[in-house]
């Protein structure tokens, strides 16, 4: 998955998230409160700016329009946006301060959150500037995201109208889908949007349910249909936390999507990740159902991170691969990231390579011997083109995807990576295994990459062979049987 050339515009309530991290070792003698010894401070874009940050980390070209104050937090937010490569369409107001949320954290837990904010709609002149900036940036965009945190930008003004209506109309005139991350129970301002992405609490509020009400599946589907009809919305993507998501679309049965099962560290900002990923996929041209599946995967990654943290494209692709038919097949860049993770856990890396065209007991013996030499086994697999150059036009018997799938199914194999060269030397250079393994039909001096591995302190191991096991002999026997 990649998003080069995709552009998305975000409009909404921007804020600056400020974190103070420390350690708690005692209770204050002045009051029964913990004393945090401050170790670190940092800031990141928050609210609508976090949605934009998620888009930027996916490789999407993103522009952000919002309202900020002429204050220290506003300048800090502008610096953060520039560092992320996000187009700055902020309107600066002399009448309000920039929303800032300060979280005090110790031992991985939030002790306190301090909110500095003014919840008022934009002044008429501010609203006009915001609208102008949106209209300037809409051409060439694949999607428009309205990120409503209820802080003012998308609220109804003194004249009873919201900025939502004109920008939704302008986007629809250009055929640009509008996606809304909603706030509150008044959704009429989102009329005409292609998709609204409430969580369960926001959905219940918009439906007028009492606190604690838990509709069953049939009631939920009826409520979703009524919401869509009442507010002129094409579809709803309901995010349900550990229960996954539900997509309600016109003229199609609801699609229920299981949650990507991960350990939850922090749900802060997960909604931003969902709408950013959904918008990126829709802008890329994926259908809504496929886009929702990808967004669900991204949400699973986001909640596994502490604090408000975006999901990088490499993390998304890794998670998608883990959900795919062959999660052990890696591209080289993704494998290198995985190797870093394994090495942080002090795992030793074993590497072997080959064509593995027709798996036989000799291959299985080799894999077992490799797996016994370390904690993680990476297998370099010759691509189809590489096999043809080495073995001739009649090979491989099985294509590279089939060979990779069979290898990945073997106990002890942790990663399979294809290489297109005639030898795995460059792959070995990048992987830097602790142990390089080949069969005992080689000598250490003739093993490709042996000198390199030994130079940096690794070792070379020659695995024992099983007599009579050879893919070439199997192919010859198959040929003679057919004749």
Rounded (5°) CA angle 327-331-334: 80
Q: Give the least confident one: 1-10, 159-168, 249-258, 313-322.
A: 313-322
Going along the chain from its start, the domains and CATH numbers come out as 7-14+44-98+118-323 (3.40.1190.20), 329-480 (3.40.50.620)
Residue 241: the pLDDT is 84
What is d(CA 248, CA 245) in angstroms, rounded to the nearest whole number? 10
DSSP H or E stretch at residue 377: strand 376-382
Q: How far apart are CA 70 and CA 91, in angstroms?
A: 10
pLDDT value at position 267?
62
Tokens of 116: 């500095």
Question: Considering only 79-83, 301-305, 453-457, which range has the smallest mean pLDDT?
Answer: 301-305
Q: What is the DSSP letter of 242?
A: G
> What confidence category does residue 306 fall into, taking pLDDT thresholds of 50, 70 and 90?
low
272 tagged catalytic: yes
Q: Which residue has the higher pLDDT, 211 or 384?
A: 384
In angstroms, the Cα distances linking 57 to 50, 51, 160, 347, 451 are 10, 10, 37, 29, 39
CA–CA dist 328, 335 (Å, integer): 9
Measured between its terminal Cα atoms, the distance across the chain in Å is 46
Is the whole model's pTM more than 0.75, yes or no? no
Contact 102, 114 (CB under 8 A): yes
Say which residue, 49 or 312, is predicted with more confidence. 49
Distance CA 483, CA 477 (A): 10
What is the residue-averaged pLDDT of the chain? 89
Task: Take residue 219 and report the two structure tokens written for it.
Answer: 């009631």
Q: Is the pLDDT of residue 263 over 60?
A: no
Query: Average pLDDT for residues 181-202, to the nearest whole number?
Result: 93
pLDDT of residue 427: 96
282 Cβ contact list (under 8 Å, min separation 6): 142, 143, 177, 179, 194, 195, 288, 291
**Range list of β-strands (E), 213-260:** 236-239, 245-248, 255-257
Give CA angle at 246 (241, 249), nearest 5°: 150
Beta bridge partners of 144: 9, 178
Closest by CA position to 329, among listed 389, 383, 396, 395:
383
Give the pLDDT band of residue 324 (cuts 50, 70, 90): low
Q: Mind listing the pLDDT tens digit for each residue in 340-389? A: 989 988 899 999 999 998 888 889 999 999 999 999 999 999 988 889 89
For residue 107, the model assigns a pLDDT of 84
Binding residues, as ranges, are 199-202
C-alpha atoms less than 13 angstroms from C-alpha of 99 in its C-beta half-sphere: 20
The rounded Cα 298 to chain-centroid distance in angstroms is: 4
Q: Give the tens place of pLDDT for each residue, 235-244.
A: 999 998 888 8
Spell out the SS3 assignment of 386-452. HHHHHHCCCCCCCCHHHHHHHHHCCCCCCEEEEECCCCCHHHHHHHCCCEEEEECCCCHHHCCCHHH
Question: Which residues face 417 on adjacent strands?
Answer: 330, 380
Segment holding 224, helix H or strand E: helix 217-231
Paired tokens of 100: 């800032």
Predicted pLDDT of residue 483: 38
**Residue set of the binding site for ATP:** 199-202
User: Cα(191)–Cα(174) distance, rounded to whole angstroms?
Assistant: 17
Q: In the chain, what are the helix, strand and coil shares in percent, each to the nearest 5?
A: 40, 25, 35
| Token pair of 84 as six digits | 């992320």
Give the residue among 71, 69, 18, 73 at the shortest CA–CA distance from 43. 18
SS3 category, 75 = helix
pLDDT at 326 over 80: no
Task: Compute φ and ψ for 248, nearest 5 degrees.
Answer: -110, 115
pLDDT for 273 equals 92
Which of 272, 357, 414, 434 is catalytic? The answer is 272
Sign of CA dihedral 144, 148, 153, 157: positive
Residue 169 pLDDT > 50, yes or no?
yes
């Amino acid at each position: 998955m990649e998003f080069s050339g995709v552009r998305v515009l975000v409009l909404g309530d921007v804020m600056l998230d400020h974190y103070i991290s420390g350690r708690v070792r005692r209770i204050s003698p002045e009051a029964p409160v913990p004393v945090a010894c401050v170790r670190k401070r940092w800031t990141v874009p928050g609210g609508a700016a976090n949605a934009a940050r998620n888009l930027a980390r996916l490789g999407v070209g993103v522009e952000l329009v919002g309202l900020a104050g002429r204050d220290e937090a506003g300048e800090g937010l502008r610096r953060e946006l520039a560092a992320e490569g996000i187009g700055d369409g902020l309107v600066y107001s002399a009448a309000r301060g920039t929303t800032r949320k300060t979280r005090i954290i110790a031992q991985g837990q939030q002790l306190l959150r301090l909110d500095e904010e003014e919840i008022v709609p934009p002044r008429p002149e501010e609203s006009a500037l915001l609208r102008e900036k949106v209209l300037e940036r809409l051409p060439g965009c694949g999607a428009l995201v309205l990120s409503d945190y209820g802080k003012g930008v998308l609220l109804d003004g003194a004249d009873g109208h919201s900025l939502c209506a004109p920008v939704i109309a302008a986007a629809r005139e250009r055929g640009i889908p509008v996606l809304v991350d909603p706030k509150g129970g008044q959704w009429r301002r989102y009329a005409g949007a292609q998709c609204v992405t409430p969580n369960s609490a926001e959905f219940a509020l918009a439906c007028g349910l009492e606190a604690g009400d838990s509709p069953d599946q049939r009631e939920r589907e009826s409520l979703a249909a009524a919401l869509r009809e009442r507010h002129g919305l094409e579809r709803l993507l309901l995010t349900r936390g550990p229960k996954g998501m539900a997509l309600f679309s016109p003229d199609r049965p609801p699609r229920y999507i299981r949650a990507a099962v991960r350990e939850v560290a922090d749900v802060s900002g997960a909604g931003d990740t969902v709408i950013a990923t959904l918008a990126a996929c829709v802008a890329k041209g994926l259908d809504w159902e496929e886009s929702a599946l990808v967004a669900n995967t991204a949400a699973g990654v986001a909640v596994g991170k502490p604090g408000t943290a975006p999901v990088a494209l490499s993390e998304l692709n890794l998670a998608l691969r883990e959900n795919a038919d062959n999660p052990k097949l890696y591209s080289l860049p993704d494998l290198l990231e995985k190797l870093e993770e394994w090495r942080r856990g002090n795992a030793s890396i074993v590497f072997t390579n080959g064509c593995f065209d027709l798996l036989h007991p000799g291959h299985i013996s080799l894999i077992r011997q490799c797996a016994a030499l370390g904690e993680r086994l990476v297998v370099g697999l010759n691509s189809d083109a590489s096999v043809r150059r080495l073995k001739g036009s009649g090979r491989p018997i099985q294509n590279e995807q089939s060979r990779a799938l069979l290898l990945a199914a073997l106990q002890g194999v942790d990663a399979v990576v294809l290489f297109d060269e005639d030898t795995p030397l460059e792959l070995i250079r990048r992987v830097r295994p602790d142990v390089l393994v080949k069969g005992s039909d080689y000598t250490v001096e003739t093993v490709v990459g042996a000198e390199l591995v030994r130079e940096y302190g690794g070792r070379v191991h020659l695995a024992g062979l099983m007599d009579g096991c050879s893919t070439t002999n199997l192919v010859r026997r198959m040929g003679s049987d057919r004749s």
